[in-house]
Amino acid sequence: MFARPRVNSLDLIATARASLKGAKGKPSEACLRRAVSTAYYALFHCLARDSADLLIGGTNSDRSQPAWKQAYRALEHGYAKQQCRNKGVLRKFPQKIEDFGNTFVTLQEKRHSADYDPVTKLNKSAVSADIDLAEQAIKQYRTEKTSDRRAFCAWVLLRVRA
């Protein structure tokens, strides 16, 4: 029997929010940076899991565990961002998927800044808004038709060949 994936996108959102609860209501810079990064990873793992589930099969399907894991791990941060930046293709998807793609790009850039730019200054309200944005994008994305989500997963996962 195939084990249920342990990474849950909305659990990551909750973890990001928990990072904002600092001493005396003021989170440390490290907590703010961790929260931004975790909000992005909620989007990333949502997309990775959907890619594996929709291209290989969900938990109740007859699926190969190694194939499912390979599909999950095949999602590349840079390539997915590049594909989501392709507005000509992205706008062909339903609005909620387009919004998810735009949020993916925005939060990946904010994660890079939070993780790698030592002079980036973050504040609690902006980080909280980013977490809300990630949560909204995930919830709205999940309401779209399976066929549209599957097409989006193929778009961000599989290399285009001419």
Closest by Cα among 140, 79, 81, 89 to 105? 81
- The confidence score (pLDDT) of residue 25 equals 73
Q: Look over the chain and give the mean of its residue pLDDT values, rounded to a whole number.
A: 92
- The confidence score (pLDDT) of residue 1 equals 47
Name the amino acid, one letter, at 58.
G
Decide if pLDDT at 151 tops 50. yes
Element (DSSP H or E) covering residue 105: helix 95-116
**pLDDT tens profile 37-87:** 999 999 999 999 999 999 998 776 678 889 999 999 999 999 999 999 999
The stretch 9-24 carries a mean pLDDT of 88
- The confidence score (pLDDT) of residue 61 equals 66
Closest by Cα among 142, 81, 88 to 107? 81
Decide if pLDDT at 4 tops 70. no
Element (DSSP H or E) covering residue 75: none
The stretch 21-29 carries a mean pLDDT of 79
**pLDDT tens profile 128-147:** 999 999 999 999 999 999 99
Cα gap 83→76, rounded to integer Å = 11
- The confidence score (pLDDT) of residue 23 equals 58
Handedness of CA 81, 82, 83, 87 (dihedral sign): positive
What share of the chain in percent tops pLDDT 70? 94
pTM: 0.92
